[in-house]
Amino acid sequence: MSAVVLITGASRGIGAATALLAARAGYAVAVNYSANSLAADEVVRQIRQAGGTAMAVQADVADEAQVLTMFEKVDAKLGRLTALVNNAGVVDQTSRVDAMSMARFKRMFEINVFGSFVCAREAVRRMSTRHGGTGGTIVNLSSVAARLGAPGQYVDYAAAKGAIDSFTVGLAKEVAAEGIRVNAVRPGIIDTDIHASGGLPDRAREMAPQVPMQRPGSAEEVARSILWLMSPESSYTTGTVLDVTGGR
């Protein structure tokens, strides 16, 4: 039985880099996307061109019904899930908390927190030996913002990622005896287009002097750490939040 991974938000950035590396490592890859089907199809095309197995699957992770449908499609086409990467996430325009709206708070937590919870729940139902599964791995995407707080910019995003850190530790302990390892990666300043979606397209390069290594990281550097946490090489690692921050 081949290894099957579902990567949320895999049409771009860290998710796309993880999808390509996972395929190279022998995983059949489900490339989730919310809206950009062309970008997701391109990731699938690259995987198939290199001889791998992949499918694109649309779902907004903030919508439980769409998540359930997504998992059913992956079950039907690729087989039983053995790995989940909770990568889908959003930032918003930089703002102080006293200028943020309730709509912004809800969007931030529905996508970044609730989406990860629902996807993890569905993965556990498939992987856990308690439910007839054979085990698996879950890797959540946190952020160094969870440690730093992101004052004056994204305190809501930082708080959502802080929730992911706690979720990772708690779920890891809950399912450790059921064949599932749960870890998280906490990226620092990574050169992807998520910064542009927050209104700061040059943020990665501008913040490089604040990073001890004096440069932003790449999506592939984060993807390599995700692949390590998914692999047997990290077989005694669970409940860990791994900083990939250039020392920040």
Distances in Å between the alpha carbon of 152 and those of 89, 144, 145, 155? 20, 15, 12, 7
Distance CA 50, CA 47 (A): 5
Contact 204, 138 (CB under 8 A): no
Answer yes or no: 157 catalytic.
yes
> 190: which strand partners?
217
* Identified catalytic residue from 27, 154, 157, 236: 157
Find how far residue 30's CA is from the centre of its chain.
13
Helices (H), the chain: 13-24, 37-49, 64-78, 102-109, 115-127, 145-148, 155-175, 194-197, 203-206, 219-230
User: Strand 83-86 relative to strand 54-58: parallel, antiparallel, unpaired?
Assistant: unpaired
Q: Tokens for 86, please give them.
A: 């909770």
- Which residues carry out catalysis? 157
